Amino acid sequence: MAPVTQALLLANIAAFMLQNFAEPQLISYFALWPLNVPPDSPVGFRPWQIVTYAFLHGNLMHLLFNMFALYMFGSDIERVFGRRRFTIYYFVCVISAAIAQLLIAAVGNWPPYPTVGASGGVFGLLLAFGLYFPRRMLMLIFPPIPMPAWLFVTLYGALELFLGITGSNEGVAHFAHLGGMLGGYLMIRSWRSASRLR
């Protein structure tokens, strides 16, 4: 496993273990809270939350799903980008996912609830995998259908957009996932443009 990918896996697992001892405090200070939390509330948005939320998870299945995806796609993308660019890319996706979630929550005027999970970074990695390994075959879990990575990423992105617009699968931050993909796409475009200019 590539070193930054491994470090991210270990950091997420360590944070989840820490949640077992201090979950209320961690959620209050390090989960991503919307901007419309009442001023007298004991919880609320703080700037560092646009990064720290990505190391917390709602439950064990949430953690396992994200870490499996990080394991599946992270090392290949880290070898393409190198350690430094991979680290920048991952956190750009995490931050762009957080910004998307904050904007959607503000526009929708949703009840204040925290967002947690590495999904924004993971969806950014998924997008990069589809761009750099478009013909690599991936297998859906349900149903078990093989398809090329470019098609898998396209369908997954379309599904997230549909679920986000229709409000289906409540409790899942679909627009944060899309924000992670968008941030990753813009980062890759900027790198490619800079490379052509040089």
- How many CA atoms lie less than 13 Å away from 133 in the CB half-sphere? 19
Contact 77, 129 (CB under 8 A): yes
Q: What is the C-alpha separation between 118 and 192, in angstroms, rounded?
A: 26
Among candidate residues 61, 66, 90, 49, the one with its CA nearest the CA of residue 12 = 66
103: burial class by Cβ within 10 Å (0-12, 13-18, 19+)?
middle
Write the pLDDT tens digit of every residue in 130-143. Answer: 999 999 998 777 67
Q: What is the C-alpha separation between 162 and 95, in angstroms, rounded?
A: 22
pLDDT at 198: 63
pLDDT at 168: 67
pLDDT at 74: 95
Strand partners, 32: 115
Consecutive 10-residue runs of the chain (198 residues): their mean pLDDT? Answer: 96 94 87 80 85 94 94 95 96 96 83 88 96 89 82 90 78 89 95 77
> What does pTM read for this prediction?
0.91
Neighbours of 17 (CB within 10 A): 10
Q: What is the C-alpha separation between 17 and 116, in angstroms, rounded?
A: 15
CA angle 192, 193, 194 (to 5 degrees): 90
Report whether CATH 1.10.10.10 matches the domain 3-197: no
Q: What is the C-alpha separation between 77 and 2, in angstroms, rounded?
A: 9
Q: Which distant-in-sequence residues (6+ apart) come within 8 Å of 28 by Cβ?
A: 42, 43
pLDDT at 40: 65
